[in-house]
Amino acid sequence: MSGEDSSIYQNIFRWAFRTGATVKEKDERLLKRLIFAIRGEETPGRFLDRLSETLTEYRTNVGIQLDVNIHPDIVRRRWSGDSFHYLRSTILSGFLNAFSAKESDEEGE
């Protein structure tokens, strides 16, 4: 993995942690639902579709209305093979760290 790739995964992890923390702040059950929705998706298209569908619902649902979005690098790049598995693991790790983080933890590390 090149330095540039490593930086992208670090940025995506930070995004996932912050997004997960935002969702958890609203309702921990929403973060669980997000994790369950994406964890079983093994193909890039289905994974990204489920991720964007769930975050869009969280942003537009009148009862939820969270300020969440998709990290630009996630939609800008073409993901396949190992790069997709790194992406998937990075996002799930960020969400899981946010889920288990205490209120004072800001970086998720």
Query: How far apart, in whole angstroms, are the C-alpha atoms of residue 23 and residue 39?
Result: 17
**All structural domains of the chain with their residue ranges:** 3-100
Compute the CA torsion angle 89, 10, 55, 81 (nearest 10 deg). Answer: -40
- % pLDDT > 90, the chain: 85
Model pLDDT, residue 72? 94
Q: For the chain, what is the mean pLDDT?
A: 91
- Please determine, for residue 109, whether its predicted confidence score (pLDDT) is greater than 60: no
Model pLDDT, residue 88? 96
- Please determine, for residue 103, whether its predicted confidence score (pLDDT) is greater than 80: no
Nearest to 48, CA basis, from 75, 83, 73: 75
Model pLDDT, residue 101? 87
CB 81 within 8 A of CB 1: no
Give the global pTM.
0.87
